[in-house]
Amino acid sequence: MTRSIFELFTRAGAEWVMVLLVALSVLSLAVILERAVFFARQGRAKVPELLALLKAGRLDEARSRLGARPGFEAEVARAALAAADGGPAAVSEAVACAIAEVRPGFERGLSFLGTLGNNAPFLGLFGTVVGIIRAFSDLSIGGVKGAGATAVMSGISEALVATAVGIFVAIPAVVAFNGFNRWLRTLTTRAEAVGHALASYLERDEVRAGGPNPRPARGESEVHPRAPRRPTDPTETKGAA
């Protein structure tokens, strides 16, 4: 069993590890570019003055500003405004539910970058070990004196390239993973601030008494005070008689 594994490693060498690392590097670059474009579009979807409108209670204007605008903040804001009639507790629940629904779309591909960043150096190290095994195997069959040592040194130098490539692949993946996660935390914090702004407005005493959009009670806007009756002139009464 050990002999068969040894022969497998000595025949394969570190070349297949290098090919795998290059393929993973290309895939990692594609994911990084796709995520960068996606996050950039969502960053431009920020609604200006939304927090100020919600704090001031101008909910209708906030709805018109949102419209059908895409983005993390806009999706959460629409859910919060839709739940405004239910009070601060309903708004908080709607915001948490909206974030849970929107967040997975932003996390797509990040687990791949994190996994690659953590394991690419180990994959390169594995290639180095396999390359060293093959180099010592070449040493054992070296015929001319000094030729075996030359083969070993050449094999070791080639095997160490696998470790370097593994580190080279891991660095961009780790940087992108940390950057996108920080970007996502910023978007999440901004979306949560929308819910807090609306909830703080709904917590006001006058709003709690009259609702988020106070309206006159039924009948108050329809009933108008009657004009006072003009006093009757006695002379007119006599003339009529």
DSSP string, 154-205: HHHHHHHHHHHHHHHHHHHHHHHHHHHHHHHHHHHHHHHHHHHHHHHHHTSH
Q: What is the reported pLDDT for 222?
A: 43
pLDDT in tens, the chain (241 residues): 666 665 666 666 677 888 899 999 999 999 999 999 998 887 666 666 777 888 877 888 888 877 777 788 888 888 888 888 888 888 888 889 989 998 998 999 999 999 999 999 999 988 888 888 777 776 666 554 555 566 667 777 777 888 899 999 999 999 999 999 999 998 888 888 888 888 888 777 445 555 555 444 344 444 444 545 555 555 544 444 4
Residue 237 lies in a domain: no
What local confidence, expressed as pLDDT, does residue 83 receive?
Answer: 84
pLDDT confidence of residue 17: 84
Q: Which of 94, 114, 126, 109 is nearest to 191 (CA)?
A: 94
Contact (Cβ atoms closer than 8 angstroms) between residue 42 and residue 108: no
Range of the structural domain that residue 62 is part of = 2-210
Q: For residue 239, tell me if it sits in a domain.
A: no
Contact 10, 131 (CB under 8 A): no
In a domain, 34, yes or no: yes
Is 230 inside a domain boundary?
Answer: no
Q: Helix %, strand %, coil % for the chain, to 5? A: 80, 0, 20
In this structure, what token pair is assigned to residue 86?
Answer: 């239910």
pLDDT at 7 (0 to 100) = 64
**Nearest-angstrom CA–CA distance, 137 and 22:** 26
Sign of CA dihedral 82, 86, 90, 91: positive
Q: Is the dihedral of CA 163, 166, 171, 177 positive or negative?
A: negative
| CA nearest to 181, candidates 109, 116, 121 | 109
For the record, the structure tokens of 48 come out as 């200006």
Count of positions (residues) in the chain = 241
Q: In the chain, how many domains are there?
A: 1
For residue 89, tell me if it sits in a domain: yes
**Percent of the chain with pLDDT strictly greater than 70:** 70
pTM: 0.72
In a domain, 200, yes or no: yes
In a domain, 155, yes or no: yes
pLDDT given for residue 175 in this prediction: 95
- Contact between residue 181 and residue 35 where contact means Cβ atoms under 8 Å apart: no
107 occurs within a structural domain? yes
With helix as H, strand as E and coil as C, how does 23-59 read? HHHHHHHHHHHHHHHHHHHHHHCCCCCHHHHHHHCCH
For residue 30, give the nearest of 38, 40, 41 by alpha carbon: 38
Question: What is residue 209's three-state secondary structure?
Answer: helix
